[in-house]
């Protein structure tokens, strides 16, 4: 049986769009229905058989470390980047604490509830690719990264925050080969969305994994309202997984 990977959750962001609501805590600990957002994400991961998670923390990382300590769960760990390194740099820094060759990486402020993660992970990555990105369709992509791919699901362009009326967007869940990250230097600020993914797309080394809507993003006050509403409308969601 294939061993499930450790989930690397990128939780180093500054949360600037939430500071009016929660200036005193990192995004991962912002309450959604009276629970820290990260608790919902960990419930979803466990429902798909993922027991181990590592939080790549940055801003207010001490609060995340304390929250993990309170969970009394040795399968939960965290690291703190020495300075703001971006999503890519934060991931590279976290690799010092995760041994897996195939990486499961998740943005720490969004949620794709209809992604069948267990089934996706059960299918081996094609040897010809560096990884796969979960994508989902949004009618008004706005601030999300637009992902273009061909009939073979090979990603041909990764257009971060492109101004387009509709399209597939980055869903914030990635399967990546560790070896694909080797060319990028550690301890350097790096963006997955603006640097690493576009470079891999140019090399035709990424594939898209299409996922049903919605994409729930708690990075803004409006996003928190939408996520709360969705959870209210699906009270038995985790029991059905």
Q: Give domain limits for the chain.
A: 7-235
- CATH 3.20.20.140 assigned to domain 7-235? The reply is no
Q: Look-up: residue for tokens 């995760």?
A: 98
Say whether pLDDT at 13 is over 90. Answer: no
- What's the pLDDT at 226? 93
pLDDT band for position 220 (50/70/90)?
Answer: confident
pLDDT band for position 19 (50/70/90)?
Answer: low
List, for residues 62-86, the tens digit of each pLDDT value.
999 999 999 999 999 999 999 999 9
List, for residues 141-193, the tens digit of each pLDDT value.
566 768 999 999 999 987 766 566 778 999 999 999 999 999 999 889 999 98
Beta-carbon count within 10 A of 221 CB: 13
Q: What is the overall mean pLDDT for the chain?
A: 90
- What's the pLDDT at 80? 93
pLDDT band for position 241 (50/70/90)?
Answer: confident
Q: How far apart are CA 215 and CA 106, in angstroms?
A: 13
Say whether pLDDT at 15 is over 60. Answer: no
Note the Cα 163 to chain centre separation in Å: 22
- What's the pLDDT at 87? 94
Q: Look-up: residue for tokens 């299409």?
A: 210
With vertex at residue 41, the alpha carbon angle to CA 206 and CA 216, rounded to the nearest 5 degrees, is: 70
The pTM score is 0.93
- What's the pLDDT at 143? 66
- What's the pLDDT at 161? 62
Note the Cα 46 to chain centre separation in Å: 15
Mean pLDDT of 209-237: 92
Using CB atoms within 10 Å of the CB of residue 2, give its burial: 0 to 12 exposed, 13 to 18 middle, 19+ buried. exposed
The tokens for 36 are: 């820290």
pLDDT band for position 27 (50/70/90)?
Answer: confident
Residue 230 vs residues 3, 5, 143, 221, 237: alpha-carbon distances, Å: 31, 28, 20, 14, 10
pLDDT band for position 207 (50/70/90)?
Answer: very high
């Amino acid at each position: 049986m294939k061993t499930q990977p450790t989930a690397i959750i990128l939780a180093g962001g500054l949360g600037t769009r939430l500071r009016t609501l929660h200036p005193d805590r990192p995004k991962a600990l912002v309450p959604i229905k009276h629970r820290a957002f990260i608790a919902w994400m960990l419930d979803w991961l466990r429902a798909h058989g993922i027991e181990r998670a590592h939080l790549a923390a940055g801003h207010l990382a001490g609060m995340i470390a304390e929250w993990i300590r309170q969970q009394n769960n040795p399968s939960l760990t965290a690291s703190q980047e020495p300075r703001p390194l971006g999503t890519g740099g934060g991931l590279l820094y976290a690799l010092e604490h995760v041994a897996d060759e195939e990486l499961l990486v998740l943005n720490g402020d969004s949620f794709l509830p209809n992604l069948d993660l267990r089934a996706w992970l059960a299918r081996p990555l094609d040897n010809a690719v560096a990884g796969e990105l979960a994508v989902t369709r949004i009618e008004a992509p706005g601030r999300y990264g637009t992902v273009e791919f061909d009939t073979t699901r090979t990603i041909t362009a990764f257009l971060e925050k492109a101004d387009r009326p509709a399209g597939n967007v980055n869903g914030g869940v990635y399967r990546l080969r560790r070896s694909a990250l080797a060319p990028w230097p550690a301890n350097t600020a790096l963006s997955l969305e603006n640097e690493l993914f576009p470079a891999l797309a140019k090399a035709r080394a990424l594939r898209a994994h299409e996922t049903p809507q919605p994409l729930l993003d708690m990075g803004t006050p409006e996003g928190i309202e939408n996520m709360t509403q969705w959870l209210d409308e699906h009270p038995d969601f985790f029991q059905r997984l």
